[in-house]
């Protein structure tokens, strides 16, 4: 194993939602609130189960994602974070993030999160226009978002991410610019911009199959991506990963673990882990998860041994998602091989196509490469 060996990230999945957004294919469930108490009991058992396995590791980041973690009673969240501190070695400076949806947050919840040590909030806004929010199946209005954002600031959350989506069928470029400008003016410390993907098992997927929804053409989608980059970089955000922008020093440390191919453990239904050269995930079914864990069995699926070749190719693909790219020097110290001996041919080919640039101790995507990233990644699979 490599040098970052003795630290890892912890992901905690809270799969409950008030209503399922039309584009969402995450492992989340609306109308299952009756299962919340039993689910959190199982979550705690699973956390305790890992305490012996990761003894000697420092937990550098905790990310409570979903679903909508802010839907449940904040006491559940506080208890789970507390338990993590009791059974794991949580670093003093650990980044602790919770995802929250407007319309499910209030002063009491935010105060409780602060008390539990949450120091990073990630709020799903998606769009500035109520018309578009409705179209996405979001349960909140812009006004609710603004109220929640201001409450969070008042209580002392300095580090706030806002999630945005572009490439929405009826979205005009002007509306996207308006969304970006307004979010910049709020002074969010981190902004994530994702292109709308229409997934099979979603309301949008069904509408697309039935011809009611026409996906945005690639060109318009790329144009909106470039607008985001120009606007955010122009406002002094650091573009540090394909879809992510941060005020200097506010990069998401938990996600950086993923992109640097470091280890993490996921707990909860459908949560994924990468630990000790293996990838695996928990069963996606809420009921199966709860009943297995209550019997003392962690319901793992898709256990994959990651061989050296896969580890190297993942390291390159994930590392190229970062704007800083990869360092041949770091590669050498991690794998004890020369990256150019292994992939010199691919790098030369991509450089000829102006998709990557190599300068100093860095190999990274060009602006064109960021646009056509998948064409680059294919070379390393």
φ/ψ region of 303 (left if φ > 0, alpha if ψ in -120 to 50, else beta) reads: beta
| Residue 1 pLDDT > 50 | no
Question: How many whole angstroms separate alpha carbon 213 and alpha carbon 224?
Answer: 19
- pLDDT of 179 strictly over 90: yes
Given a cut of 80, whether residue 3 has pLDDT beyond it is: no
The pLDDT value given to residue 374: 87
3-state secondary structure of 227: helix
Confidence tier at 339 by pLDDT (50, 70, 90): very high
Q: Give me the pLDDT at residue 2, please.
A: 46
pLDDT in the model for residue 214: 87
Q: In the numeric block, which tokens belong to residue 162? A: 């806002």
pLDDT recorded at residue 171: 94
Mean pLDDT of 154-161: 95
Q: Which pLDDT score is estimated for 5?
A: 58
Instruction: Kindly state the percentage of the chain with pLDDT values over 70.
Output: 99
Residue 45 confidence (pLDDT)? 97
What digits encode the pLDDT tens for the residues 223-248?
A: 999 999 999 999 999 999 999 999 99
Annotation: CATH topology of 3-259: TIM Barrel (3.20.20)
CATH code 1.10.10.920 region(s) in the chain: 309-380
Please state which CATH number belongs to domain 309-380.
1.10.10.920
Binned at pLDDT 50, 70 and 90, residue 359 comes out as confident
Task: Report pTM.
Answer: 0.93
Q: What is the pLDDT of residues 262-278, one digit of tens each?
A: 999 999 999 999 999 99
Residues of the chain with CATH 3.20.20.70: 3-259
């Amino acid at each position: 194993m490599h040098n970052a060996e003795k630290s890892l990230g912890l992901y905690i999945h809270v799969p409950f939602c008030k209503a399922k957004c039309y584009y969402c294919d995450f492992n989340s469930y609306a109308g299952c609130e009756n299962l919340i108490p039993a689910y959190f009991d199982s979550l705690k058992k699973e956390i305790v189960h890992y305490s012996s396995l990761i003894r000697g590791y420092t937990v550098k980041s905790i990310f409570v994602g979903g679903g909508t973690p802010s839907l449940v009673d904040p006491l559940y969240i506080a208890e789970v974070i507390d338990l993590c501190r009791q059974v794991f070695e949580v670093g003093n400076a650990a980044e602790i993030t919770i995802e929250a949806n407007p319309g499910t947050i209030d002063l009491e919840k935010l105060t409780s999160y602060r008390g539990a040590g949450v120091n990073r909030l990630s709020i799903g806004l998606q769009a500035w226009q109520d018309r578009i929010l409705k179209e996405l199946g979001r349960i909140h209005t812009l006004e609710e978002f603004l109220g929640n954002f201001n409450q969070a600031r008042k209580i002392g959350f300095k580090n706030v991410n806002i999630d945005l989506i572009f490439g929405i069928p009826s979205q005009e470029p002007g509306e996207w610019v308006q969304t970006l400008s307004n979010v910049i003016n709020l002074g969010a410390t981190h902004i994530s911009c994702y292109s709308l993907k229409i997934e099979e098992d979603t309301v949008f997927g069904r509408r697309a199959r039935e011809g009611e929804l026409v996906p945005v053409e690639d060109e318009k989608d790329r144009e909106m991506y470039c607008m985001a980059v120009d606007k955010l970089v122009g406002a002094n955000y650091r573009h540090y990963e394909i879809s992510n922008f941060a005020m200097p020093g506010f990069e998401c440390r938990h996600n950086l673990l993923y992109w640097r191919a470091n280890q993490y453990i996921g707990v909860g239904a459908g949560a994924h882990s990468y630990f000790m050269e293996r990838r695996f995930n928990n069963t996606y079914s809420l009921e199966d998860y709860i009943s297995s864990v209550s019997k003392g069995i962690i319901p793992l699926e898709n256990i994959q041994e990651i061989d050296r070749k896969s580890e190297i190719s993942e390291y390159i693909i994930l590392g190229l998602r970062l704007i800083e790219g990869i360092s041949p020097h770091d590669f050498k110290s991690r794998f004890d091989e020369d990256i150019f001996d292994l992939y010199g041919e691919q790098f030369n080919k991509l450089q000829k196509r102006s998709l990557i640039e190599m300068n100093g101790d860095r190999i990274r995507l060009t602006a064109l490469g960021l646009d056509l990233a998948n064409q680059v990644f294919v070379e390393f699979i």
